[in-house]
Amino acid sequence: MERSNPGQLSQNEKAVGSARDTSVNGHLLEGVVKVRGRTAGSVGVPAETSAQPSSVMESWKEERTRSVEDNEMSLPSLAAAYNTILRGLGEDPQRQGLLKTPWRAATAMQYFTKGYQEKIIDILNDAIFDEDHDEMVIVKDIDMFSMCEHHLVPIFGKVHIGYLPNKRVLGLSKLARIVEIYSRRLQVQERLTKQIAVAITEALQPAGVGVVVEATHMCMVMRGVQKMNSKTVTSTMLGVFREDPKTRDEFLTLIRS
């Protein structure tokens, strides 16, 4: 399994400004990335320190992703694994309701991780426009569904994205598609937030980006502590959003209303 496409941004995010080999889409070339301590404020403003757009776009082109053929080929082994799981749980896989469950569950799981099949460059390349607009653009209440990478249990919630364009704007649905690519993976909410923000930054070089993710984690609601109403909120503010408190305030007020 040489596919090293999992979301490595937890280590990658610190190095996004420095390691030109690593692609923002989270593909990690082992040994290239310098791993720094994982503190919130340790990333410099990527808009200034990031690699030139051309090299980033090139590295995006080199991403290796899962393909539809890969999906088909791994389906039997996934189905067999689910069969083992059903037996291990004490169920009878031959009863009517469970007969095709291994296949359905395998296909469902492949769907829940279809973010590995897509490339940012395919989605974004066409929809970046030159527009003389420098006011805040916000797309809020984007429904997000992800999988907890620790328990393989769903996470769902809402994503709010805002950015201050710098002569280049992005098609609005592309923001939602960026959310889709990164959320349909085995994820950690912190990493998801950061990946979305960094992707927008890399694509547009805006004056600033703010991303807020508010989600419910089934691993906390259905098991473990079992707190039904708890929500986890993470945010990433880059550029002007980080430096200027008034901009940040405006963004946070607008997504709350």
Partner 1 sequence: MTGGRVPTVRHKAEATSHHHQPGISFRPTRKSDFADTVQQQVKHRRRQPASMNGVCNQSMVTGVTDFQRFNGFAEHPAESKKAMGQRALDTSRKESEDESKLPALEAAYVTILRGLGENTDRQGLLKTPLRAAKAMQFLTKGYHETVYDILNDAIFDENHEEMVIVKDIDMFSLCEHHLVPFFGKVHIGYIPSKKVVGLSKLARVVEIYSRRLQVQERLTKQIAMAISEALQPIGVAVVIEAAHMCMVMRGVQKMNSRTVTSAMLGMFRDDPKTREEFLALTKNK
Q: Which residues bind partner 1 (CB under 8 A)?
A: 1, 3-6, 8, 10, 66, 70, 74-75, 77-78, 80-82, 84-92, 94-98, 100-101, 104-106, 108-113, 116, 143, 145, 149-154, 156, 186, 188, 218-219, 221-223, 228
Nearer to partner 1, 137 or 186 (CB): 186
Annotation says 217 is catalytic: yes
Smaller CB separation from partner 1, 100 or 231: 100
160 is catalytic: no
Q: Least CB distance from residue 90 to partner 1, whole Å? A: 3
Closest distance between partner 1 and the C-beta of residue 224, in Å?
Answer: 8
Marked catalytic residue, from 11, 58, 117, 151:
151
Catalytic residue, candidates 11, 58, 149, 205: 149
Closer residue to partner 1 in complex, CB, 148/237: 148
The answer to whether residue 133 is catalytic is no
**In the annotation, is 27 catalytic?**
no
Least distance between partner 1 and beta carbon 25 (Å): 14
Active site residue 148: yes
Residue 131: both structure tokens together:
């527009």
Q: Give yes or no: 149 in active site.
A: yes
> Minimum CB separation from partner 1 for residue 53, in Å?
28
Q: Output 104 or 231, the one with its CB closest to partner 1.
A: 104
DSSP of the chain, one letter per residue? -----S-THHHHHHHTTT-TTS-TTS---TTTSPP----GGGS--HHHHSPPHHHHHHHHHT-----HHHHHHHHHHHHHHHHHHHHHTT--TTSGGGTTHHHHHHHHHHHHTGGGG--HHHHHTT-EEE----S-EEEEEEEEEEEETTT--EEEEEEEEEEE-SSEEE-HHHHHHHHHHHHSSEE-HHHHHHHHHHHHHHHH--SEEEEEEEEEEHHHHTSTT--TT--EEEEEEEEHHHH-HHHHHHHHHHHH-
Residues identified as active-site: 148-151, 189, 217, 219
